[in-house]
A and B are shown apart, each in its own frame.
Chain A
Amino acid sequence: MDDILVQALIQGLLIGATYGFIALGLGIIYSVSGVINFSHGDFVTLGMFLCYSLWSALALDPYVSILITLPVFIVIGAALYRYLIQPIVGVHMLMIIQLTLGVSFILQNGLLMIFGGQPLRTPSAFEAKLLFVTDSVILRLTLVVAFVVSLVLACVLYWMLNRTDFGRSVRAIHQNPRAAALMGINVVAVRTITFAAGFGILAIAAGVLLPGTPAHPGMGLRYTVITLMVIILGGMTNFFGIILGGFLIGVSEAIGTVYVSGITGMMMPYAIFVLVLLFRPQGILRRAS
């Protein structure tokens, strides 16, 4: 294999792990409450801008800022569910989509009003460091950090879902919320906690993605679309399916950018998405978790 392909594959896998990780947050929220958050990507942007503010005010490295943004996002996630989404759960699916689209507009334009429309860069300790795998295959260290953090936390999440009481109650609610409530599980509390956890994931993902990525208020919708494609590819609630979907989108994006010129290359993940959807509408892995 030539070096460019190897480079593209590795880069795609690295970024794909983070996509998968962000999508897992959306996936567990969906599996317990049937809610898809269309402002998911805008919260990634919000996390990035929080890190940027912490850097410009206190000169904190984005990796350190996660310690501050994580609790903030957990509170935001819980509050969003309790005060905005829970009152309309079960009324109509479309309402939740429209409401979260409204949240997306608020975030996007709120950030635009505060920070303006210029892309902002946040420096970090590892930003300029490169890893040489071979002589011609070079990786940015920040991507490797994002990859490792995403995979480790995905493993923690998997362990939590399968081995702890909280994880069992999450799976019980996914299978049958009513029966779970009858077994003494506090459904509302579990849903609130999963929302908080899903948003915590976003805070971490925003922090590890930020070094090397210019942040712009309008980029949230793109993250939302990528995340949505990943979880559809993964079959909505299948843990490994979502991780695999992340890799698939990440790799197709990297290969598209390298081999197909310019913007047309950026369409590669979408083309793959439509093709997979046409031939395997149930997602890339059939079995549900």
Chain B
Amino acid sequence: MRSGAFRFLGNPVFWLVLAAAATMPLWLSPYYLGVATIALFYVGLALSWNIVAGIAGQLSLGHSVFMGIGGLLSSALLLKLGINMWLGMAIAAAISAVLGAFIAWLDFRFRLSHLSFALITLAFAEMGQLAAVGSEFLGGASGLFLPADHGSLLDFEFGGQRGYFYLLFTASMVCLVANLVILNTPLGYYLRAMRDNENAAQAIGVALLRNKIIAMMISAVLTSIMGTAYARYSGFVDPYQFASPNVSVEVVLFATIGGLGTVLGPLVGAGFLVVFGEIVRGQFGGTLPGLHFFIDGVLIIVVILLMPRGVVPTFVEWWDRRHAAAPKDPGMIAEVPTKT
């Protein structure tokens, strides 16, 4: 079990895919490179959400708040106060971490059930969007335009499509590594024990509050950083794009379809569905807006009814059964929620 991450990292297929992904700017057309960049953004979001929802079993619907802080606050700091965006990113991440710790404390203090936690974080998400729309400083309903990109790295400018591809590529790989590390350190075991049976975990000495806060803070910081990176890439931020609770719901759907609690699930789910969604949007966006989300909604219902653990774990299990001789890869099909 402990070797899971190392086997994952030692797998040549993983490195091949990674290398192929890293060379994308060399052979993809600018349009598809843009699609790949957006896909990487959602992969990062899904993976950082997975730390709280998949590994620790707390279905947060409030992650749009962290993304909003990362995107809107860092942009506002740059435009209104002239604070360097690297520093802005750090400030936004710190505020997200504090807010995440507060939400985790609420969860612990009131012993919220899964359901109440989801409800309350959803209320936070809605509140966050309203606060952003109402705040003059954050650009209000009309949003903020970031200054033109001159490719100066020190000002958090990455000079065009390729630079941003690598920025989001690196950021999402950081989220991937964070997942792998957590899954294979004591923290991951504590979190999974808490997810499967909170009372039993507490009884054997797992510090609930401490671990909940750590998991939520890591997840909040990563989400916030993804928000800042994407804000600089898109060059325009507004609350409907960055702080909408719908973003949280999208991430939930992507990660769940792929397979919650695993590393590959959210990665494959978000990566595949965003690319698919962007292509559908490119084809039908004018006549049937929202078709790709409609398809996502249908997909999640089908996945939950037919393969409740998600597509990736189900596929890996099927593959293992076909090649019974091949050993299982615990890094790929790590624990999946079973019963409460």
Contact = CB atoms under 8 A, between A and B. Distances in A.
B167 interface: no
Interface stretch (B12-20, B128-136, B147-155): B128-136
Given A225-B122, A263-B130, A264-B134, A95 B253 contact: no
A101 B59 CA distance: 12
Contacts of B141: 263
B118 interface: yes
Contact of B290 (A97, A113, A228, A266): A113
A186 interface: no
Q: Interface range on chain B: under 10, 10 to 19, 20 to 34, or 35 or more?
A: 35 or more
Contacts of A106: 294, 297-298, 301
Given A88-B305, A95-B304, A101-B249, A109 B297 contact: yes
A36 B282 CA distance: 35
A11 interface: no
Given A102-B300, A105-B297, A263-B130, A277 B110 contact: yes
B337 A270 contact: no
B15 to A, nearest CB: 32
A120 interface: no
Contact of A232 (B119, B127, B300, B338): B119
Interface in B85-118: 110, 113-116, 118
Contacts of A88: 304-305, 308
B305 A87 contact: yes
B294 A113 contact: yes
B130 A105 contact: no
Interface string B268-304: 0000000000000000000011110110111111001
B22 interface: no
A119 B299 CA distance: 28
A98 B134 CA distance: 30
Nearest to B54: A94
Contacts of B246: 218, 221
B289 A117 contact: yes
Contacts of A94: 57, 59, 114, 118, 260, 337
B296 A93 contact: no
A267 B130 contact: yes
A224 B122 CA distance: 10
Contacts of A98: 59, 252-253, 256, 300, 304
Contacts of A281: 110
A105 B305 contact: no
Given A98-B300, A102-B300, A36 B119 contact: yes
Interface residues of A, number: 46
A152 interface: no
Contacts of B259: none
A110 interface: yes
Contacts of A180: none
B337 to A, nearest CB: 6
Given A91-B339, A94-B337, A113-B288, A105 B245 contact: no
A151 interface: no
Nearest to B118: A97
Interface string A19-58: 0000000000000000010100000000000000000000
A235 B301 CA distance: 29
A222 interface: yes
B300 A99 contact: yes
Contact of B123 (A103, A105, A109, A270): A270
Interface string B183-197: 000000000000000
Given A91-B308, A105-B300, 8 more contacts: A93-B114, A93-B340, A94-B118, A97-B114, A103-B297, A221-B126, A225-B122, A270-B127
Interface of B: 57, 59, 110, 113-116, 118-120, 122-123, 126-127, 130-131, 133-134, 141, 245-246, 249, 252-253, 256, 260, 288-291, 293-294, 296-301, 304-305, 308, 337-340
Report the 3 A-B pairs with minimum CB-CB distance, sorted nearest first: A263-B134, A109-B290, A105-B297
